[in-house]
Amino acid sequence: MGALLSTQPPQAGPFSRCPRTDYSKFIKARETRNMPEAAHLIDRELSWLSFNERVLEMAEDHSIPLFERIRFLTIFASNLDEFYMVRVASLLSKLESSPGSVNSAGFTPNELLEAISVRVRELALRHANVFKDQIIAELAKEKIEIIRWDGLSDDERNHVSRIFSDRIFPVLTPLAVDPSHPFPYISGLSLNLAVMVKNPKTSEEYFARVKVPPILSRFIPVSPAPNTTRFLPLEELIAIHLQELFPGMLIEDHYTFRITRNQDIELEDEDTENLLTSIEQELARRRFGPPVRLEIESGVGEKLRNKLCEQLNINPANVLSLPAPLNLRDLMKIADLDMPKLNFPSFRSRTVASLREVDAEEPDLFFAAIRQGEILLHHPYESFTSSVVQFLQHAAQDPAVLAIKQTLYRTSGDSPIIEALIEAAEAGKQVLAVIELRARFDEQANVRWARKLEAAGVHVVYGLMGLKTHAKLSLVVRDEAQGLRLYCHMGTGNYNPKTARFYEDLGILSADPVLTEDLTKLFNQLSGFAPHSVYSRLLVAPRTLRGSLLEKIANETAMAKAGRPSGIQIKLNSLLDEEFVDALYEASQAGVKVDIVVRGICSLRPGIAGLSENITVRSILGRFLEHSRIYHFLNGGEDEYWIGSADLMHRNLDRRVESLVRIERPTHKTSLQEIFDLSLSDETSSWRQDQDSWKRVSKSSAGEPLQDLQSLYIKRYKKAH
């Protein structure tokens, strides 16, 4: 072993080149099932893997600062973990319950698992090699080194050995497997050492497992000097000292491994009377979900590999052999080193112009600014804290405010919004919080918030039975000289001040009585019984959103056939619903120009002659996560723009409470159109979909770099302010 994991340029070998996935065998199987419509759909899971490949391409982009490339590596890894915890876990369950079923894209569960396995293996090896063959060498140029034991000096070895003795050894718990010690429970996503040991007296071999403690730093500074940038991986330090954990035994072999468990929550009884208790019980069970993936260090001996697969009951298709180090999510610790030149240039959100001159201590002035006209917010370019958070904080502190109603899907751990709701309730205001307990991977946090809010006197409800509440809504009732006046906020993103710093989202602050009446009806539906409410500016799932959007697409189709102006532009996170794919295909066939900007999944295939040649699909990734949803219909020249929380997926349209709000002000429509114009411009860097493949276009035909959309917006907002 050398001083670094690798400082050499990429070499030809098993991990340096990954061939494109060949799906021909699955296409042939689909053809034998006489499913011609399936040929026009891209499978959800395979489309998602294409999205994660786009994330990986950001990590491979040498024009991006080094630490940001590392962050994209960690995002790719985190995304893939969640993909296995939820999507592959669900597919494995389907393989057991209905192995012969065929999905809308023409795959049986077994075929899809095989296709996923091939694609993931390709991407995971590529991901590992980006770190091994590129990032390590570039870190070394910045004098940041991730060292193996062989590369340490004697002084450094003495230093880290003292750390091992003083701080690591007491924490470790080696677990052996023999007739009196069953195979240990392996927690999901933990990094572990699999060790084969031999008793020198009896020659008997045993398997043992040592967990790499997640509470300790993954990368150990090899020197006591402050600001050192040479690190030894924790698992390497443990491996070197294994003999101390198994005195008197021979260490025959050791490798790192990691498993992923089914982490999806499925309530057995959706009609349960106490959803909070059911969620808490399911959370307790979730950590013991069955393993769905095994990652193991490449080069492991067959005996050790077979032992793990047997004990964990892992499908061989879901075993990945990868070069060490495993679990590159921990690289975030390296990316967080204080070296500004290796990060994107600093950026600070600006207060929206309508609120810039408002005294932060004067609620009257803040609400007066909203009364003067609806305010469109574009985060993170415009501050979430000085707009949405301040809106709720003013509402909590203002004696004139009588009531606050709020939906919460995800929020931060130290949420000022939660604190504002508690403050309002303690001041005697009527406060309603609609908390979604089933927000995936935020269930535990939301249970805690629900308990805390209830203890403070907030009316906490969990929405409608069988439906997740995903709509982003705030409503404030204020007693003014002219009588009661209502104010509201609607957005495309969560009420999370932390993620609002790097999620691109839209929102509006409004005192429009038509809109606030709509929100009053919607909150009454969420907290009581109002299933047949009629809305003026809102489309609400699951009752009106699907049908209304399909009608608007059909209207554009009719306009095109009649020779009138038509067009559809959509910006969203995912497009999956088959009914919408078919409707957009029909619009394209009628001559409607359809432009789609999608971040993640897209089941639609553009560019098919006679079907979708009028459809373009683009994707934009950058330092901010593109999260806003915008729907634009040309409508014969009377443009309609809608923003909100809903993607075009079954779950959003049929199994969630979602909302879109119609944008009224001409200046706001212009701002939304600018987002489309810039996103779709040939002068903007983006990924472009051609049927079922994606290509990144970041340079002009002359070889000049194309403009980065998010950098352009940063410059524009800085200049405007």
Q: Give the model confidence (pLDDT) of 299-341 as tens digits.
A: 887 877 888 888 888 877 789 999 999 999 999 999 999 999 9
Are 448 and 328 part of one and the same domain? no
Q: Which one of 159, 470, 627, 668 is the catalytic residue?
A: 470
What is the DSSP track for 54-80? HHHHHHT-TTS-HHHHHHHHHHHHHHH
143 and 267 co-located in one domain: yes
Q: How far apart (Å, rounded) are the C-alpha atoms in residues 661 and 490?
A: 8
Chain centre distance of CA 698: 24
325: left (phi over 0), alpha (psi -120 to 50) or beta: beta
How far CA 338 is from CA of 72, 335, 459, 501, in Å, comes to 18, 8, 44, 19
Please tell me whether the peptide bond between 174 and the residue prior to it is cis, using omega within 30 degrees of 0. no
> Is the same domain home to 311 and 460?
no
Q: Record the tokens describing residue 443, joined without a space.
A: 């269930």
Confidence of residue 3 (pLDDT cuts 50, 70, 90): very low
Q: For residue 482, which amino acid is it?
A: Q
Give the residue with greater pLDDT, 445 vs 121: 121
Question: Within a domain: residue 319?
Answer: yes
* 464 shares its domain with 487: yes
- Rounded Cα distance between 711 and 624, Å, is 10
17 pLDDT band, cuts 50/70/90, is very low
DSSP output for 459-489: EEE--STT-EE--EEEEEEEEETTEEEEEEE
- Regarding whether 518 and 377 lie in a shared domain, the answer is yes
The average pLDDT across 352-363 equals 84
Distance CA 554, CA 580 (A): 10
Average of pLDDT values for 51-65? 97
Q: Where does a domain end: 513, 534, 555? A: 534
User: What's residue 261's pLDDT?
Assistant: 92
Give per-residue pLDDT as tens, 556-594: 999 999 999 999 999 999 999 999 999 999 999 999 999
Omega into 380 within 30° of 0, i.e. cis? Answer: yes
Residues 195 and 248 in one domain: yes
Is residue 1 in some structural domain? no
Residues 214 and 135 in one domain: yes
Residue 487 domain boundaries: 353-534
Per-residue pLDDT band at 272 (split at 50, 70, 90):
very low
Question: What pLDDT, on a 0 to 100 scale, did the predictor assign at position 13?
Answer: 30
- pLDDT-derived band at 670 (thresholds 50, 70, 90) equals very high
Summarised one tens digit per residue, pLDDT across range 424-460 is: 999 999 999 998 887 777 778 888 888 889 999 999 9
Residue-level pLDDT at 5: 37
pLDDT of residue 414: 82
Look at residue 161 and tell me if it is in a domain: yes
pLDDT score, position 1:
30
| 574 within some domain | yes
φ, ψ dihedrals at 62, nearest 5°: -75, -10
Q: Does 272 reside within a domain?
A: yes
Q: d(Cα 396, Cα 224) in Å, to the nearest integer?
A: 49
In a domain, 566, yes or no: yes
Residue, of 74 and 206, whose pLDDT is higher: 74
Is the pLDDT assigned to residue 245 strictly greater than 80?
A: yes
pLDDT for residue 15 = 29
- Residue 300 near residue 77 (C-beta atoms within 8 A): no
What's the CATH number where 410 sits? 3.30.870.10
Active site residue 181: no
Give the pLDDT of residue 473. 96
CB 303 within 8 A of CB 206: no
480 Cβ contact partners less than 8 Å away, ≥ 6 residues apart? 400
Calpha distance 508→491 (Å, rounded): 6
Is 618 in contact with 639 (CB distance < 8 Å)? no
Distance CA 611, CA 291 (A): 42
Contact yes or no for 222/160 (Cβ under 8 A)? yes
Smallest CA-to-CA distance from 655 within 538, 544, 542, 511 is with: 542
Of residues 181 and 223, more confidence is placed in 223
Say if 40 falls within a structural domain: yes
List the one residue out of 275, 524, 529, 532 whose CA is nearest residue 405: 524
Q: Which amino acid is at 465?
A: M
Helices (H) and strands (E) in the chain, counts: 22, 27
Taking a C-beta distance cutoff of 8 angstroms, is the pair 646, 629 a contact? yes
CA distance 303 to 465: 50
Fill in the amino acid letter for 236.
E
Q: What percent of the chain has pLDDT over 70?
A: 91
Contacts 24+ apart (CB under 8 A), 111-115: 111/26, 111/29, 112/43, 112/45, 112/46, 113/88, 113/315, 113/317, 113/318, 114/26, 114/317, 115/21, 115/23, 115/26, 115/43, 115/46
Specify whether 324 is located in the same domain as 361.
Answer: no
The residues pairing with 46 across neighbouring beta strands, listed in sequence order, are none
Q: Alpha-carbon distance 709 to 619, whole Å?
A: 11
As for how many domains the chain has, the answer is: 3
- Spatial CB neighbours of 142, under 8 Å, sequence gap ≥ 6: 66, 229, 339, 342
Least-confidence region, from 68-72, 169-173, 413-417 = 413-417
**408-426: pLDDT as tens digits:** 988 877 889 999 999 999 9
Convert 278-289 into a string of H (helix), E (strand) and C (coil).
HHHHHHHHHCCC
Q: Considering 338, 366, 388, which residue would you say is the last residue of a domain?
A: 338
- Using left for φ > 0, alpha for ψ between -120 and 50, and beta otherwise, residue 299 falls in left
Are 618 and 629 in contact, with CB atoms under 8 Å apart? no
Structure tokens that stand for 636 in this block: 């014969």
Contacts for 282 with CB less than 8 Å, ≥ 6 apart:
265, 266, 267, 443
Q: What are all long-range contacts of 160-169, with beta carbons under 8 Å and residues at least 24 apart?
A: 160/220, 160/222, 160/232, 160/237, 161/241, 163/220, 163/237, 164/237, 164/238, 164/241, 167/216, 168/213, 168/216, 168/234, 168/237, 168/238, 169/241, 169/244, 169/245
Residue 267 pLDDT class (50, 70, 90 cuts) = low
How far the first Cα of the chain sits from its last, in Å, is: 54
What's the burial of 351, exposed, middle or buried (CB within 10 Å: 0-12/13-18/19+)? Answer: middle
Main-chain dihedrals φ then ψ at residue 581, nearest 5 degrees: -60, -45
User: Helix, strand or coil for residue 106?
Assistant: coil
Q: Write down the pLDDT at residue 33.
A: 66
User: What average pLDDT does the structure give for the chain?
Assistant: 90
What is the DSSP code string of 212-248? --TTS-SEEESSSSTT--EEEEHHHHHHHTHHHHSTT
Q: Are residues 223 and 112 in the same domain?
A: yes
- Burial label for 48, CB within 10 Å (0-12, 13-18, 19+), is buried
Exposed e or buried b per residue across 178-208, where buried means at least 16 C-beta atoms within 10 angstroms of its C-beta: eeeeeebebebbebbbbbbbbeeeeeeebbb
Give a yes or no: residue 100 inside a domain: yes
Q: Note whether 509 and 564 are same-domain residues.
A: no
Cα–chain center distance at 441: 11
Same domain, 194 and 228: yes
SS3 256: strand
Between CA 99 and CA 534 the distance in angstroms is 43
Give the CATH number, domain containing residue 257: 3.30.1840.10
Q: How many CB atoms lie within 10 A of CB 129?
A: 22
Q: Residue 193 in 3-state DSSP?
A: strand
- The three-class DSSP label of residue 387 is helix
Q: Which amino acid is present at 215? A: I
Same domain, 523 and 405: yes
Residues, the chain: 721
Choose the final residue of a domain: 534, 563, 584: 534
